[in-house]
Structure formats: C-alpha cells, structure tokens
Amino acid sequence: MSEPSTQRRVLHAEWTKLRTEPAARWLLPGIVVATVLTSLFAVAAASCEGRGCGFDPAVLSLTGVQLGQALVVLLAVRAIGGEQGTGLLRTTFIAAPRRTVVLAAKAVLIGGLVLAAGTVAVLGCLAAGRAILPANGIAAPSLADGPTLRAAVGSVLYLALIGLLALGVAAAIRDSAASAGAVFALLYAVPLVAAAISDPELQRTLRRLAPTTAGLAVQATTGLDDLPIGPWAGLAVLAGWSAASLLLGALVLQHSDP
C-alpha cells in the first residue's frame, strides 16, 4: 500500500475513534460554551465612567479563552490517554506500526477540530464584547480593526497550539489524569509563580518563556510596549512548546511499549 494511502487510512481510523469517543461529544461544544460564557461574564462585570479606563477591549472580550483552553487540554489528552487506559492503543499500533504516523493523524484531527471550535468561540466572545462593552463605557472590539483581527486570529491559533501541546504531553505520559495535570500546571501554575517573583527581570523572563503568558500576548491591542514579549513572538514561543512536546511524544512512542 502506498504511503499516501496508508496515511489516509490511519487518518480515517483516528477520525472514527475520535468521533465515537463519548468525551469528545461534550468537550467540543463545551469549549465554545465555556469560552463564550466566561467572556460574557467578564465583559458584563467590567465598567467605567470614562472612555476605556485602561481596559483593552479585545483582551477583555477574549477572557474566556483562558478557561476554554482547559477543555482543549482534556480533549487532547483523551485522544491518546483514553486508548492507553483501555488497551486500544496496542491494537492501534498493531494495525498501524508507524507510530509517528498515528501521532501525526491525531495532531491533524485535534488541531482541525480545535481550530473550528475555537473560531466559533472567539467570534462569540467578540460578539459579547460588541453587545455589552459600549453600554459599560468601554469601546467595542471590531474585526475591522487590524489589532483586534490579529487578537481574534491569534486566539484561535493559541487554542489549537494548546491542543497540540497537550497531545504531545499525553503521548509521552499516556495517562489522561497525569497528562492533564502536567499541562494544567504548565498553563496555570507557572504564571502564578512568575507573578509571585519579586525580581522584575526574572519575572519578565518567565513571562516571556511561559506558554500561557507568552501565547496570550497575541490578544493585546493596547499597551504593546509594556508587554514582556510581542504578540506574534509570544505565539511563536507557544508554537515552540507545542513542537517540542510533539517531538518528545513521538520519541517516547517510538521507543516504548504501547
């Protein structure tokens, strides 16, 4: 069988498994609902008497991405951790001995699904901002504005990269609970540690390198000079984390028993 045919067969098999995975049925819509609802609460709670009051309308409207990423992580780790727990991963590797092809197929599916769900979620968040923020004295975000468009596109890419990061970690650890815990610590605990550091230079360095604080810089549309890292440079840092995670996962899969 030719290489393209093998890849298509593996991709189709992975799609069949993923769409019949019970968790995926609620996690995908859950990403949209959790992200939009969190942003809705955030924009409803924000108000000021003057115009703007220091709020970045795009960042405020896209607050829900920080919660939505948690469901993205759960979806990604289930894509491989669930198979490990049931023993299905061994069967998968018997049917498709090239384990890197299996991981690549999972990455394509997770990335594509999260891009789709993330697009709907981000548009919903911006719609909530446009509907509510002007009544609270804050400028509404608009996709006609270049920085806001960059924040929206960047947020969708951010969620997809978080999914790939989590998939790589899950491929290396191959236990859903442990993988999710490791990724959550990286995403949520590291920024807290950075915020608690008193040394400004060390704090700024950690914020440049941490996947969450670096990646979410892409949402900023105001005060760019005060950011620890530029918007696209920050997203590139997250992309580096995701690539390294997938590489580690591929190496572990290649040299370990399923």
Q: Quick one: angle between helices 88-95 and 3-19, nearest 10?
A: 160
Which region holds residue 217: left if phi is over 0, alpha if psi is between -120 and 50, else beta? Answer: alpha
Number of domains present in the structure of the chain: 1
Burial class from Cβ neighbours inside 10 Å (0-12, 13-18, 19+) for residue 104 reads: middle
- Per-residue tokens: 91: 């069967």
Dist CA 21 CA 86 (whole Å): 12
Burial class from Cβ neighbours inside 10 Å (0-12, 13-18, 19+) for residue 233 reads: middle
Range of the domain at 149: 3-254
Q: Which residue has the tokens 């384990």?
A: 99
pLDDT of the chain along its 258 residues, tens only?
A: 455 667 788 887 778 777 777 788 899 999 999 999 999 999 999 877 655 577 899 999 999 999 999 999 999 998 887 666 666 666 666 666 677 888 888 999 999 999 999 999 999 999 999 999 988 888 889 999 999 999 999 999 999 999 999 999 999 987 889 999 999 999 999 889 988 888 889 999 999 999 999 999 999 999 898 899 999 999 999 999 999 999 999 999 887 765
Dist CA 125 CA 192 (whole Å): 25
Dist CA 101 CA 82 (whole Å): 18
